[in-house]
């Protein structure tokens, strides 16, 4: 019996129409009495702009548009999907899952699309490493025969978690969504290896400590981050996890055609590239335009590079990210 491989058929992404440059955000913060500058933001992060949703726009709305774009790229419709996984830390509701809400919205996109109803649908929560986790779970399920085609989405509205009195965090994040369509078949290639890791000792360095109880919010419902601690952990684990997936696939650093990293901070990305021996012209960069979109970050960057023609069929891609938890992981994909 031939081995089953998970192939990436199409990519898609979607950004809210409201774009805030650093200058826009600096002016907004100044009205609140908080001082910062474009130079300060760019020097420390590499970010020049980000996108925020308008009132009433939800994570599933962003996920829907990115999913339809990915399905179109794959030449498929919603009815061809039998597994939906959404990676998000900003779900529409406590429950049901954003994946189920997305399933309903996809089913309403056309009469034929109702065929997606009945597909398994669930969310994965690993913050900025969420898309890697979702990709790894989908790969395992497809290889096991639990599904044939999967829609894997990373979608976030992080603007609603930000403390706009804290300039060390509020300048970093944005909203958006990215999606991929996967298919199981017996052709070699596709997802070559994945790794997912976590270390719960560091739950406090990046978190949103509030929660809902009896109809009220307990704790602090905005993002908290110890930037230096996150940076120190990130640069170490990203190199290690990349080397681990290369070893699993029997490949070397020189076999990587493109690094598609989580777009959190240009310094972390540059450090990872150096350790992997990759020049920056082999690194997909969107952090300057999108900021940190958490679970949406990697699929947004991937779709951008595919649609620009930089990433081509047959090339090997190293996807990797870190997030609150502390979570991290990587996936080596032959596109």
pLDDT of 136-192, one tens digit each? Answer: 999 999 999 999 999 999 999 999 999 999 989 999 999 999 999 999 999 999 999
Tokens 């999907």, residue located: 81
pLDDT band at 311 (very low <50, low <70, confident <90, very high): very high
What is each CA distance from 287 to 122, 179, 233, in whole angstroms?
28, 18, 19
Contact criterion met (CB below 8 Å) for 45 and 83: no
Question: pTM to 2 decimals?
Answer: 0.98
Positions marked active-site? 128, 262, 292
Q: Please choose, from the candidates 106, 60, 110, 107, the residue with its C-alpha nearest in 3D space to the C-alpha of residue 86.
A: 60
Q: What is the distance between the alpha carbons of residues 76 and 143, in angstroms, rounded to a whole number? A: 20
pLDDT at 261: 98
Which residue ranges form the domains of the chain, and what is each CATH number? 5-187 (3.40.47.10), 191-334 (3.40.47.10)
Backbone angles phi, psi at 120, to 5 degrees: -60, 140
pLDDT of 47-97, one tens digit each? Answer: 999 999 999 999 999 999 999 999 999 999 999 999 999 999 999 999 999
pLDDT at 331: 98
- What is the three-class DSSP state of 298? helix
Whole-number CA gyration radius for the chain: 19
The residue-averaged pLDDT of 20-29 equals: 96
Q: Please choose, from the candidates 89, 87, 111, 112, the residue with its C-alpha nearest in 3D space to the C-alpha of residue 102.
A: 87
pLDDT at 162: 97
Question: At residue 2, does pLDDT exceed 90?
Answer: no
pLDDT at 1: 61
pLDDT of 217-276, one tens digit each? Answer: 999 999 999 999 999 999 999 999 999 999 999 999 999 999 999 999 999 999 999 999
Q: Please choose, from the candidates 217, 24, 234, the residue with its C-alpha nearest in 3D space to the C-alpha of residue 128.
A: 234
What is each CA distance from 150 to 74, 79, 138, 212, 335, in whole angstroms?
11, 11, 7, 32, 16
Residue 292: strand pairing partners: 173
| DSSP per position, 25-54 | HHHHHHHTT----HHHHHHHH---EEEEPP
């Amino acid at each position: 019996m031939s081995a089953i491989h998970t192939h990436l058929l199409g990519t898609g992404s979607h950004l809210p129409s409201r774009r805030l440059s650093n200058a826009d955000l600096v002016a907004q913060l100044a009205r609140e009495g908080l001082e910062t500058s474009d130079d300060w933001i760019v020097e420390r992060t590499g970010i020049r702009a980000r996108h925020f949703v308008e009132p009433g726009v939800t994570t599933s709305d962003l996920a829907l548009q990115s999913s339809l774009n990915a399905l179109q790229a794959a030449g498929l419709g919603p009815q061809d999907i039998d597994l939906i996984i959404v990676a998000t830390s900003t779900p529409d509701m406590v429950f049901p899952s954003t994946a189920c809400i997305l399933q309903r919205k996809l089913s309403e996109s056309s009469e034929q699309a109702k065929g997606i109803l009945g597909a398994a649908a669930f969310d994965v929560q690993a913050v900025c490493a969420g898309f890697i986790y979702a990709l790894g779970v989908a790969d395992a399920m497809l290889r096991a025969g639990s599904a044939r085609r999967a829609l894997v989405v990373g979608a976030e509205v992080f603007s609603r978690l930000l403390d706009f009195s804290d300039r060390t965090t509020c300048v970093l994040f944005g909203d958006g969504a990215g999606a991929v369509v996967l298919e199981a078949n017996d052709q070699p290639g596709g997802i070559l290896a994945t790794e997912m890791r976590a270390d719960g000792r560091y739950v406090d360095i990046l978190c949103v400590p509030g929660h809902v109880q009896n109809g009220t919010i307990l704790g602090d419902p905005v993002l908290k981050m110890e930037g230096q601690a996150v940076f120190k952990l990130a640069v170490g684990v990203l190199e290690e996890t990349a080397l681990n997936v290369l070893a699993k696939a029997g490949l070397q650093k020189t076999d990587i055609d493109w690094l598609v990293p989580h777009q959190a901070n240009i310094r972390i990305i540059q450090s990872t590239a150096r350790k992997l021996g990759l020049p920056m012209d082999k690194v997909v960069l969107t952090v300057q335009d999108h900021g940190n979109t958490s679970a949406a970050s990697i699929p947004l960057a991937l779709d951008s590079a595919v649609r620009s023609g930089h990433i081509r069929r047959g090339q090997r891609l190293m996807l990797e990210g870190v997030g609150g938890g502390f979570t991290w992981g990587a996936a080596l994909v032959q596109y």
